[in-house]
Structure 1
Amino acid sequence: SKFTETYLIMYLFLLTGGAAYQPEFAEPIANLSVPLGRDATFRCLVHHLGGYRVGWVKADTKAIQAIHDHVITHNPRVSVSHNDHTTWNLHIRNVQEEDRGQYMCQINTDPMKSQVGFLDVSVPPDFVPEETSGDVMVPEGGTVKLTCRARGHPEPHVQWRREDGQDIVIKEPSGQKVGGCRIQEFNMARFNISITNCILEYLEDRIHPRKEGEAVSKVGYVVFCGVDRGVENSHK
């Protein structure tokens, strides 16, 4: 009958309509930049999830973090949550440097659908004490080697400067002439970026020790090894 035919058409439409609404991502996963020790949350928005499942994978190591409501990783700092099967969250508490990398949100369709967000963990700049020179005594006209090594992420910039603000004079043409010492540069395009070691040769006056944290000084002047990541984040 016409009624039966109409009913069958509507029934088939509902079936095909349900199949037509495949899961899809509503928006890209945002990249995150989080300071060391803070918490991070990736959000994955999915429309029309239906009976499919959402999973999280650390893409660079291929380590499964979670599948739907269940946490798979043995990392106790990782958890998941969701809201109305639309918003799926991956939480990482107290982020550490090993958490840095790509995280993938997956839907178990065939073929699989996925999208990736990147977690960057920033680490404040600091000196490596065991690889940074302390006070050094040298005779007048002698040579002194000062080493300054820094760590942090992004990679910190290292600068040498005198306590009185005057330029450090580079004696040899192998370095830039910025104003009594020779500086040997390692993998540097400019004097003030990304250096970890400097060799300074004093040709005048004596050097006397100062308090901890200051490298050396020549007759009242202290040579500082300063670390910074930019104008707004510099310290001695």
Structure 2
Amino acid sequence: MKGPLRGLSVRAAAGVLAAAAAAAAVQFDAPSRRAYRTDLSYDGRHAFVRLRWRADFASSRGGFRSAWNHDYPRAEQNLSAIVNELTSLDVRTDGSLILTLDDPELFKYPIAFMWEPGFWNLTDREAESFRAYLLKGGFAVFEDFDGAAQWNNFEAQMRRVLPGGRFVRLDNAHRIFDAFFEIKDIHAIVHPMSHIRPSYYGLFEDNDPSRRLMVVANYDNDVPEYWEWSGQGLFPFDTSNEAYKLGVNYLIYGMTH
């Protein structure tokens, strides 16, 4: 299905989202990494971009043995399927991209997601390239980190990227939370494991909240965990629905700002 659904009532849109979420969960219930491509060539369509960074022993999680691959590939598969169904974006659903921060290909894609930045460690080259990406219009979403130690590491790495940048707490009034779906209470999307209350922080162009949001950090949360396991009965359906709405809003905001 193509064509924007902005004209739908909130109730109707929520119903469509619920149906799409269920369909995505069924379609990607047991994804095969071999069938899901990461070698996509740029063709003008939107492709989900996951940022890969160097890992050490402290961030080893199995699989690719790195924290950056948490929730892969089910999270991006499910979210991409829903965005493809509900918006006018022409989305790649046959695969996604895994790019390093200094990969020139990153500049072809306006939105990038990073997992577990609490363990992230930059090189000087990566910091310089990522800075250029953000200043030239890129939008980055940071997911899946919690606690003071992880926040401090994330903030330290971002100071290397944007030395003068300052994070500010976002509330429901910011337009990113109404970019496509209205999210009435962003704090209701609690951490799926610890159930702690999340916080959302933004870094704006020229540190001016009236300008473009370049970075958003979902702190004390793991929103993609809901995308990964939607339809499996692990988490409340309503919360999973809100998590999908948040993901759709991020993508729409990144594509339109």
TM-score, with structure 2 as normaliser:
0.21
Q: Which structure would you say has the larger Rg?
A: 1
Greater strand share, 1 or 2? 1
Q: Larger RCO: Structure 1 or Structure 2 (Cα < 8 Å, ≥ 6 residues apart)? A: 2
Greater helix share, 1 or 2? 2
TM-score, with structure 1 as normaliser:
0.22
